[in-house]
Structure 1
Amino acid sequence: MPIVPSSYKPSSLFKNGHFSTIYSAKLRPSPKLQQERERLHLPDKDFLDIDWSFSKAPSQKVAILLHGLEGSAQRTYIKGQGRILQQNSWDVAAVNYRGCSGEVNTSYASYNAGSTGDLVAVMQHIIEKDRYSQIVLIGFSLGGNVLLKYLGERDTLPKQLKKGIAISSPLSLQGSLNALEKRNNWVYRTSFLYNMRQKYKEKMLQFPEQMSASDLKKIKSIFDFDTIYTAPAHGFDDAFDYYNKNSCLQFLPNIKTPILILNAKNDTFLSPDCYPETLASERKNIYLESPKYGGHVGFHINNSVYYSEQRSLQFINE
């Protein structure tokens, strides 16, 4: 499939990648979206929460939304995407990963960029409702890596699953970590690291034999966090093993489901290998759209609707 030309042309301020990223994350008014929470108990006795939004008329179509690193289903970008879907006859299941819904999860493990097992559980739970003939996946940032890995690591998928969309997604975890470590990204990694350290403190009270204040003091970067917590908690040898085994780039050639990858060229979170142009040009089901602008999940048109939200709706309805 040829590379998809993008029609996204923002106003002058939003041509700046940092401005569009920060405005969209911190300053955009939160779209109004009614959500109903459902707790899903997982096979290992842990839990995660799903925030549902329903179309006005009964629908047989549902979109599963997956948030980014240290996000939740309450984030502005989730609500914006959910609202336009709800207004266009889609039900929405916005997933909060373990420990991301405002309550510490019960197991030592939480979530990571490749933890597709919980997505399997969510899919199965929704299919068992026997209400939906069409399911689509829409993932943002880390959530995009999760859904692409999920689509590419399995030989069989539910027949109801029709399409996937990955927005501002780090297809290479190591590459994106290196990008975030650059000086111009200090504000983002500082914010991520603050939230990660806070969650480590909370979890340390649950698991004092596995987590300690001395280890917390050593966490001075995202790499440190992945070395000290993410890798051992989820069964990886070290942070590099975690990055190598979970980057979705290696799984893309196996994907048969139609997918759209929407990654802006001025997204400072992404490395050059997050734009797989050669692969997309050779495959009929991989649509790669790389607008010049958009920052990281910052495809602003106006506060009511973003380009990424319109584009996702268009792609799943095609």
Structure 2
Amino acid sequence: MSVFSRFFPQAQVSLVHCEENQVILTAKNDKTAESEKRQIRLIDLAREATPATCNLNPLLFNGHLQTGWTTIKETTEIPIYYKRKIFEQEIPALAGQFAVDFVVPAYPKTTDPEATDEARKYTLPSGLPARTTFFSKEELAALPSNDTKPMLVALHGLTGGSHEVYLRAALAPLVLDETAGWEACVVNGRGCAQMKLSTPLLFNARATWDVRQVIKWLRKTFPNRPLFGIGFSLGANILVNYLGEEGENCLLNAAVICANPWNLDVTNIALRSTWLGAEVYSAHMAVSLVNLFNQHVDELTHHPRLNVDDMKDVKYIHEFDRAVQCALWGYPTEGAYHRDASSTDSLLAIRIPFLAINAEDDPISVKQAIPYDEFKQTPYGVLLTTSWGGHLGWFELGGCRWFTKPAANFLNLIAKTIDLSVTPMPEKDKEGLYGETLANGSIHKPSHPSVFYPVNRKLSMTIDN
């Protein structure tokens, strides 16, 4: 071992994929005849997107330190500004308002009385997140466009929002670089990002209905823009579930999945099995969830199955899920909720190219829950793992986050070099092996009696109107 490698160690980077069957992408090439366009395997594009090395901060030498540093670096200044639009869920059974924040050029602090009135109407008393205000009526009217800019839809992690530093760090190389030419928006979970609840329903790990409605709206509002997705932690789990439910009808062209917990039952057991997992990570996340609950308690008490007294003894995240998620959604136990909302199987139903990024020393999205075998079965996805990085950490010397590089590279390569008018197809036809899904989540069932359906769910829930 050299002196350099001892003091500046590298994380091991691995790519897991289906060896015998990969999705084939068609390269853009205006000078080549249609029949002669270059074909690219997804794994080759993923290799090109992945930096050759992963040199992280040697002072943050394990997953716990990398994860802990995220709480210290929350004040990092990344100058991304948002304008907010309120959506009303169209499905009556899932009624409620939610906020979508669109990345816009920097603007001075507003004194517009119309925007202030909107903020008071929809926002918690503590006010909007920094660098965020509401669209004016004129701005909303001018929003539709026929441009062809790539547009990214982002989903944040547990109790987070568009203001989160990890999310802004991932958006920055795409939206702050004028040559990249990206547009972006963030779908905030119900009750998150200072948004008032209008009905007694919070988000959950299966909450795909709001992002589905937004993506349909984006397709109508920006008919020529290629759409992409990126999800972080719990938002990554939701995004994978959405992609699986949509299957071959997905309106997104590609996606990046960051620090997904994947198997929520396994992650729950892992957190409860160690002192750090229970008393630090689970307890810390539970505090955030309880605070979120208390912000919206007046609205949540209207839910007929929710007993506020059950919240008094909540200390860990699984206790919150038992007291709140089970009551809100009708699951008998938190284990049933975790198993039903996990995205491990959903990845097998995805029919667009996607890159998943996980650190194997992540103390929250634990290694035991990473679906290595499933990635070896799907031609549509590539799993990028690092031996070091923590939970949405990957901090390098200087404070930059390494994971933003392969994420931005992958999205740029797909958006800039791939002909998106050509449907990506596997090298070998595997139609029907995992079942095909309709846009509403129902399944085309072939006559073969033994076919695995990745998005079969235990809890029957309307996901389309």
Do they fold alike, i.e. is TM over 0.5? yes
Flag the 1:143–1:163 CA change in 2: closer, same or farther, 3 A.
same
Q: Could you list the per-position Cα deviations for residues 3-54 of structure 1 after superposition, in whole angstroms to 9, with x for gaps in the alignment?
A: 8687322131233211111212332513121211111221144111111114
Question: Partner amino acid for 1:197?
Answer: V
Deviation at 1:131, TM superposition (A): 4.6
Question: Partner amino acid for 2:102?
Answer: W
2:294 to 201, 222, 236: 201
Q: Structure 1: how far apart are the matches of 2:184 and 2:396?
A: 22
Query: What does residue 111 of structure 1 align with?
Result: 203
Query: What does residue 284 of structure 2 align with?
Result: 191
Q: Is the 8 A contact 1:55 1:91 kept in 2?
A: no
Question: Partner amino acid for 1:166?
Answer: I
| 1:267 is the counterpart of 2:314 | no
Flag the 1:193–1:59 CA change in 2: closer, same or farther, 3 A.
same
| 1:289 is the counterpart of 2:364 | no
| 1:172 is the counterpart of 2:267 | no
Deviates more, 1:278-287 or 1:78-87: 278-287
| 1:53 is the counterpart of 2:103 | yes
Point out where structure 2 has 5 or more consecutive residues left out of the alignment. Answer: 1-16, 20-42, 107-146, 414-465
Point out where structure 1 has 5 or more consecutive residues left out of the alignment. Answer: none
Q: Is the 8 A contact 1:59 1:91 kept in 2?
A: no
Query: What does residue 227 of structure 2 align with?
Result: 135
| 1:279 is the counterpart of 2:374 | yes
Query: What does residue 453 of structure 2 align with?
Result: none
In our comparison, the structure showing a higher alpha carbon Rg is 2
Tell me, what secondary structure is at the counterpart of 1:83?
helix
Deviation at 1:266, TM superposition (A): 0.7
Q: Could you list the per-position Cα deviations for residues 75-114 of structure 1 after superposition, in whole angstroms to 9, with x for gaps in the alignment?
A: 1011111211102211111121110021331111110111
Tell me, what secondary structure is at the counterpart of 2:344?
helix
Q: Structure 2: how far apart are the matches of 1:222 and 1:255?
A: 29
Question: Partner amino acid for 1:208?
Answer: T
Q: Structure 1: how far apart are the matches of 2:104 and 2:150?
A: 10
Tell me, what secondary structure is at the counterpart of 1:297?
coil
TM-score (norm 2): 0.64
Tell me, what secondary structure is at the counterpart of 2:218?
helix
Q: Structure 2: how far apart are the matches of 1:256 and 1:206?
A: 38
Deviates more, 1:129-138 or 1:250-259: 129-138
- How do 1:62-141 residues align onto structure 2 when only pairs under 5 Å count? 62-86=151-175, 87=177, 88-141=180-233
Q: Is the 8 A contact 1:175 1:270 kept in 2?
A: no
Q: Could you list the per-position Cα deviations for residues 53-80 of structure 1 after superposition, in whole angstroms to 9, with x for gaps in the alignment?
A: 1489x65211111111111111101111
- How do 1:225-244 residues align onto structure 2 when only pairs under 5 Å count? 225-244=320-339
Q: Is the 8 A contact 2:314 2:320 kept in 1?
A: yes
Deviates more, 1:113-122 or 1:128-137: 128-137
Q: Structure 2: how far apart are the matches of 1:121 and 1:41?
A: 9
Tell me, what secondary structure is at the counterpart of 2:336?
helix
Question: Greater share of helix residues, 1 or 2?
Answer: 1
Query: What does residue 13 of structure 1 align with?
Result: 59
| 1:153 is the counterpart of 2:248 | no
Deviation at 1:317, TM superposition (A): 2.0
Deviates more, 1:269-278 or 1:110-119: 269-278
Deviates more, 1:219-228 or 1:302-311: 302-311
Q: Could you list the per-position Cα deviations for residues 268-315 of structure 1 after superposition, in whole angstroms to 9, with x for gaps in the alignment?
A: 113344322233234332111111111000012355642111111111
Q: Structure 1: how far apart are the matches of 2:105 and 2:373?
A: 38
Query: What does residue 437 of structure 2 align with?
Result: none
Question: Partner amino acid for 1:169?
Answer: N
How many residues align? The count is 316
Q: Structure 2: how far apart are the matches of 1:156 and 1:120?
A: 14
Q: Is the 8 A contact 1:41 1:47 kept in 2?
A: yes
Q: Structure 2: how far apart are the matches of 1:246 and 1:267?
A: 20
RMSD: 2.3
Q: Could you list the per-position Cα deviations for residues 105-148 of structure 1 after superposition, in whole angstroms to 9, with x for gaps in the alignment?
A: 11111101111111111111211212543111110100111111
TM-score (norm 1): 0.91
Q: Is the 8 A contact 1:170 1:274 kept in 2?
A: yes
Percent of aligned positions with the same letter in both sequences?
22
Q: Structure 1: how far apart are the matches of 2:350 and 2:331?
A: 24
